Amino acid sequence: MNSNTVKQGIDRAPHRSLLKALGLTDREIQNPFVGVVSSFTEMVPGHMHLRQIADAVKAGIRSNGGTPFEFSTVAVCDGLAMGHEGMHFSLASRELIADTIEVMAKAHQLDALVLIPSCDKVVPGMMMAAMRLNLPAIVVSGGPMLPGHFEGKPVTLSTLFEAVGQVHAGKKDEEWLHGLEAKACPTCGSCAGMFTANSMNCLTEALGLALPGNGTIPAVYSERLVLAKETGYQVMELFRKNIRPRDIVTMTSLKNGVALDMALGCSTNTILHLPAIANEGGIEWDLRKVNEVSASTPQICKLSPAGDSVLADLNEAGGVSAVLKQLIDNRFIDGSPMTVSGVTQAERLKNAKVQNTEIIHPMDHPYSIQGGLKVLYGNLAPEGAIIKQGALEDQEMVFEGTAQVFNGEVPAAEAIRNREINAGDVVVIRYEGPKGGPGMREMLGPTSTLAGMGLDASVALITDGRFSGASRGLSIGHVSPEAALGGEIALLKTGDKIRIDLKEGRLDWVATDEERKARRVEYEKNPLQLENLNPELRAGYLGRYSEYVQSASRGAAFRPIKE
């Protein structure tokens, strides 16, 4: 694929005429064509400023001999979609994003791509497109939001979600909440903590698909515009050297990404997106690799929601580069993979330094000797489930509680708000997986309400859905196989005993084999009919999505289309 297909030779005179209708000169038409993919939208604060970022990227491309063409893709704000039917569309938008970029790039025979995402599913969706197309490509995000300040403390969106729980618990009033909501999100950019968007933007640096600083330079800093210009310039260098995403994202760099994930304490959603990105590059990814890396990689940063620091603090402390440099120097990651800088990871980080050891701890004084995430297995999750252990005080906790079972997030959230959940309970939210939801909704509402009520350490929550990067507490998601695929979670009843053993990495339904077999027979005689669950969501795009989506253990990626 290259732009010569649409611009050279006598037969392409009509094509050149259309390009000249855009105002292009003969010189511009002869230059390489670079797609500048922006997820700008006026509805999402993470994306509201991306036109300015795109203009800077285009300036960089032009300064190095390329002709840029900007086009857009969709962008869902998980915060705005939270707690209603809109959240069904968030994860599902990831596949649309990859598809729309493929359509535009192939239809117009582009030579290279600069990808400008900001929020949760846009970052992995664009990276999936880069791997699928394998054109020279670089990611430059819109950057993180600055934190707000309220009552003398830094606050973020997750502060506000937890504040709702405090009001429901009678600890605070609505006037106080109104004051907080005016301060929690003070600028454009992706929400200020180590939530999913910022987690994925940090991982672009570890994978080698972005220039240093992409994950942490705040959205409102002019330094972000400089980075955008350098990104536009550098994509032309990649084009000339023929360095492509599949030369950069390999099994080695994916393991490096997981190691950074563990060191930073990133969102559980990264464990959905990395397999999907690997899948687009034809890389076989086993979820068990996460535990292998996590067991040997210390967590040296603790950012919101697990701690009080935010992405702007990490940026001032040396950014992702400083964290990666420590991991390379201590042989936790391999510095040999190529990066979009045109040199290896080790070469481009040789001068990186930690500027604040309170934010980035030394390797010999970590927050935890294990990484921030862990995959649990057991009879409830034979294909795995994920927990953000870095947000827990006791990472060797054994918790056994009584199941309170709900078919969907809405009744569970109502029960929590109505104070029907007590210490020692295990809230089970099922039929919220990729297929069953459909779309695998996030559960920030229930988890943050529990946290606001002070129950996040004494109540567990397990689901075949997923959690926001802003979630914390004893929350276990991605239970696979999901209920809609007949997973054991579909067999549970209120009153069952659930055991969570973090040290052993187990998630089990405490029941005899005879009881489990009897429940299986009962379930198979009368399974829940998905068409009766949210029937209004079984048509249109979500209906098609439900047919093709795979298990969370496979990154909720689409299954291959059979010939």
What is the 8-class DSSP label of residue 24? -
The Cβ of residue 430 has, within 10 Å, a number of other Cβ atoms equal to 25
Say if residue 457 is exposed, middle or buried (CB neighbours under 10 Å; 0-12, 13-18, 19+).
middle
Single out the residue of 465, 484, 485 nearest to residue 475, CA to CA.
465
Residue 150 in contact with residue 300, Cβ under 8 Å?
A: no
Distances in Å between the Cα of 280 and the Cα atoms of 55, 137, 170 are 29, 15, 48
Report the alpha-carbon distance of residue 84 to residue 110 in Å, rounded.
38
Say if residue 512 is exposed, middle or buried (CB neighbours under 10 Å; 0-12, 13-18, 19+).
exposed
Helix H segments across 214-317?
222-241, 245-248, 251-264, 270-280, 288-296, 311-316
Residue 211 in contact with residue 231, Cβ under 8 Å?
A: yes
Please indicate whether residue 468 is annotated as part of the active site: yes
Report the alpha-carbon distance of residue 525 to residue 485 in Å, rounded.
15
CA angle (334, 335, 341) in 5-degree steps: 140
Q: Is 51 helix (H, G, I), strand (E, B) or coil?
A: helix
Single out the residue of 320, 330, 107, 365 nearest to residue 198, CA to CA.
320
Q: Is 524 helix (H, G, I), strand (E, B) or coil?
A: helix
Q: Is 135 helix (H, G, I), strand (E, B) or coil?
A: coil
Strands 33-38 and 67-72: parallel
Report the alpha-carbon distance of residue 132 to residue 557 in Å, rounded.
13
Report the alpha-carbon distance of residue 390 to residue 74 in Å, rounded.
32
Bridge partners of 406? 429
Distances in Å between the Cα of 181 and the Cα atoms of 79, 82, 120, 159, 189 are 13, 16, 21, 9, 17
Single out the residue of 77, 5, 92 nearest to residue 41, CA to CA.
77
Structure tokens at 169: 């618990």
Bridge partners of 506? 377, 501
Distances in Å between the Cα of 429 and the Cα atoms of 28, 175, 345, 416 are 55, 32, 41, 12
Peptide bond into 32 cis (omega under 30): no
- Where residue 376 falls (left for φ over 0; alpha for ψ -120 to 50; beta otherwise) is beta
Catalytic residue among 304, 341, 448, 468: 468
Q: Which residues are catalytic?
A: 468
